[in-house]
Amino acid sequence: MSENGPFVSKTDTSVSERVDWVDYAKGICIIMVVMMHSTLGVELAAGREGFMHLVVAFAKPFRMPDFFLISGLFLPLVINRDWRTYLDRKVVHFFYFYFLWVAIQFGFKAPSFAADGGWAHVGALYLESFIDPFGTLWFIYLLPIFFVVTKAAKSVPPWIVWTLAALLEAAHFNTGWTTIDEFAHRFVYFYSGYLFSGYVFALAEHVRRKPVLACAGLAIWAVVDAALVYVGVSEWPAISLMLGFAGALAIVTIATLLARRHLLDGIRYCGEYSIVIYLGFFLPMAMTRTVLLKTGIIGDIGWVSVLVTTVGVIGALVMWWGLRGTAFRFLYERPDTFWIAPRKKTNPALQPAE
């Protein structure tokens, strides 16, 4: 089984087999993330909304809760590692890709920032990104913090940690600092993935055995989620927590049903290489949005959003396919120089990030 949440490295010899439904769940999550950024970006640039706005709104209560819950599922396998190895796999690893891709994103966005506030402003924004995550990369900035906090709190009774995490989510912090706000909003889901991983896997097995009952449950969940979003109470304290967990388990259920029949294998592939998509989707997404809106070849904003999402996902994979095996493989594979713990090299093939 994979131990590294949404971003997996096959070079880790502890990964003896993949759990198919987990890859499907990760694939659904990363596609929803790209969909959200694509849709909202298109609508902001166009000055109007399309039908995809409703899809994004429906997914908002559970999009990130599911990603973080999945991230914590395999933590019980490795939380007892020595601190050096643990920090290498769970902190240095993610920060390497964060610092690298922040620089890349700034390279594309710096001229626009400079036009708004001058190059001194650009420098200040870049330095700020080291204490508060930049743009779409906040997820891999927060993950190492979650890993460290969970291991550091291992001696604390789990019910205390979980209760405090749930209260933080209910508080709905809005300080303006992404690190603080997203930690408060999301840690309960990550910790729950770690704490209740056995129950999540038991749910998946139950879904495999009783798919009809699972489909009935999904129908009820979809109606409730849509209704609460529509009436505008989905972000209320307690309701947001309920919808976050319900949606996360719904994605686990959907992923298990797809894996059971080996349907839509492209989603599983996206989950297997979710880091590749997460790091690189911003570029094909932005380029496609600009071209489509300037040319106006597609008039419906909803379909523009669909196409931008599709190109964002596929374009990120194409970038990786073109660069692996070249001198630029460091964009997706952490070089030996940046390892602080021994690395087992049983598989020399180039692999994506953990």
**What is the spatial distance between Cα 162 and Cα 246, in angstroms, rounded to a whole number?**
17
**What is the spatial distance between Cα 12 and Cα 22, in angstroms, rounded to a whole number?**
17
Residue 347 has pLDDT above 90, yes or no: no
pLDDT category, 17, cuts 50, 70, 90?
Answer: low
Buried b (16+ CB within 10 A) or exposed e, 113-149: beeeeeeeebeebeeebeeebbebbbbbbbbbbbbee
Q: Dihedral of CA 76/78/79/81: which sign?
A: positive
Q: Dihedral of CA 317/319/320/324: which sign?
A: positive
The residue type found at 313 is V
Q: What is the mean pLDDT of residues 274-286?
A: 96
In sequence order, which ranges of 47-82 are alpha helices (DSSP H)?
Answer: 52-59, 63-72
Q: Which of 68, 278, 339, 82 is nearest to 186 (CA)?
A: 68
Residue 5 has pLDDT above 80, yes or no: no
User: To which H or E segment does residue 21 belong?
Assistant: helix 20-46
Question: Which is more confident, 351 or 300?
Answer: 300
Q: Where are the domains of the chain?
A: 20-106+135-338
Query: Which DSSP category does 172 fall into?
Result: T
Q: What is the pLDDT of residues 73-98, one digit of tens each?
A: 999 999 999 999 999 999 999 999 99
Q: What is the pLDDT of residues 27-84, one digit of tens each?
A: 999 999 999 999 999 999 999 999 999 999 999 999 999 999 999 999 999 999 999 9
